[in-house]
Amino acid sequence: MDFPADLIRLLSNAQSMAVLTGAGVSQESGLRTFRDSQTGLWAQYKPQDLASPEAFAREPKLVWDWYAWRREAIKGVRPNAGHYALVELEKRNSAFTLITQNVDGLHQMAGSRQILELHGNIQRVRCSNCGCLAESWDEQSQEVPRCVDCGGLLRPDVVWFGEPLPRSQLEQAVQAARSCGVFFSIGTSGVVHPAAALPYSAHNQGAVIVEINAECTQLTGKADYFLQGKSGEILPELVKKLADTASR
């Protein structure tokens, strides 16, 4: 892929970078995005209908089983070249913040260090009553497992629709958007708030906006650069171009 020369120059001299990733970054690892239709048993449900405190209150076992199925699906999944390219980008930029909406843990697995998980992590499970993280639980249990401390129902440690994002992670993400020189929005449809507002905060303070997505989104018209295609292909090529430029 050819990159605009001014983009390469700009990225080579960037003082600080922030990156927002969405489900599209994990798509080439074989994980369905939120917009992809669900499969099998779950085809009849929309994620928004299951990922909510109301759904869990109404049908805790159904919601628990959906997350147990997703944890199982993630077991065989590995980071793709896009995740690893972001690890390289972090190594090349001292002021680098990775903000992810993904709950799959693939950025950690790839080796990214400074990660802000805005929507939690599906590999963690916490008590819906006392909030403490569960060390272990019986994945084969026929009932929703309960907290060993207080007996409350266990739930995935993710942010459901209608729930507030973790304050510290959100504050750090807002801070990064407001102070970065370059803001990447990668593999996200930009529909879910407040994460979707971050690129606009960056744009409003004068950051250069680079969007990488397989298709146009609501942000595309505002982006300074729109690199259309698969992040697992574009990111490694971009990082290689930056490395080649630096070595000249």
Residue 66 binds: one of ligand BV8, Zn ion, none (C-beta under 5 to 8 A by kind): none
Of 156-195, which residues contact Zn ion (CB under 5 A)? none
- Which residue among 107, 119, 193, 203 is the active-site one? 119
- Cα 247 to Cα 14, 29, 233, 243, distances in angstroms: 16, 31, 22, 6
How many whole angstroms separate alpha carbon 208 and alpha carbon 11? 10
Verify whether residue 119 is a known catalytic residue.
yes
Among residues 113, 145, 111, the alpha carbon closest in space to that of 128 is found at 145
**Which DSSP state fits 129?**
T
**Are 22 and 28 in contact, with CB atoms under 8 Å apart?**
no
**Which partner in Zn ion, ligand BV8, none is near 164 (CB below 5 to 8 A by kind)?**
ligand BV8
- Residue 219: which residues within 8 A CB-CB, separation 6 or more? 185, 190, 199, 200, 209, 211
DSSP summary character for residue 114: S
Interface positions with ligand BV8 (CB under 6 A): 22-24, 27-28, 33-35, 48, 51, 101, 103, 119, 158-164, 187-189, 191-193, 213-215, 217, 230-232
Query: 57-81 in b/e burial notation, b at 16+ Cβ within 10 A?
Result: eeebeebbebbbebbeebeeeebbb
- Name the segment binding Zn ion (CB under 5 A); options: 44-52, 81-89, 152-160, 239-247: 152-160
- Indicate the SS3 state at residue 174: helix
Q: Smaller CB distance to ligand BV8: residue 9 or 46? A: 46
Q: Which does 214 bind (CB under 5 to 8 A by kind): ligand BV8, Zn ion, none?
A: ligand BV8
Contact of residue 230 among Zn ion, ligand BV8, none (CB under 5-8 Å per partner type): ligand BV8
Position 129 contacts Zn ion (CB under 5 A): yes
Among the listed ranges 11-19, 142-150, 181-189, 229-237, the one in contact with Zn ion (CB under 5 A) is 142-150
Q: Is 130 in the site for Zn ion (CB under 5 A)?
A: yes
Count CB neighbours of 149 within 10 A.
11
Quick one: 107 or 155, whose CB is closer to Zn ion? 155
- State which residue, 127 or 182, has the beta carbon closest to Zn ion: 127
Burial of 219 by CB count in 10 Å (0-12 exposed, 13-18 middle, 19+ buried)?
Answer: buried
C-beta closer to ligand BV8: residue 16 or 33: 33
Residues that bind Zn ion (CB under 5 A): 127, 129-130, 147, 149-150, 152
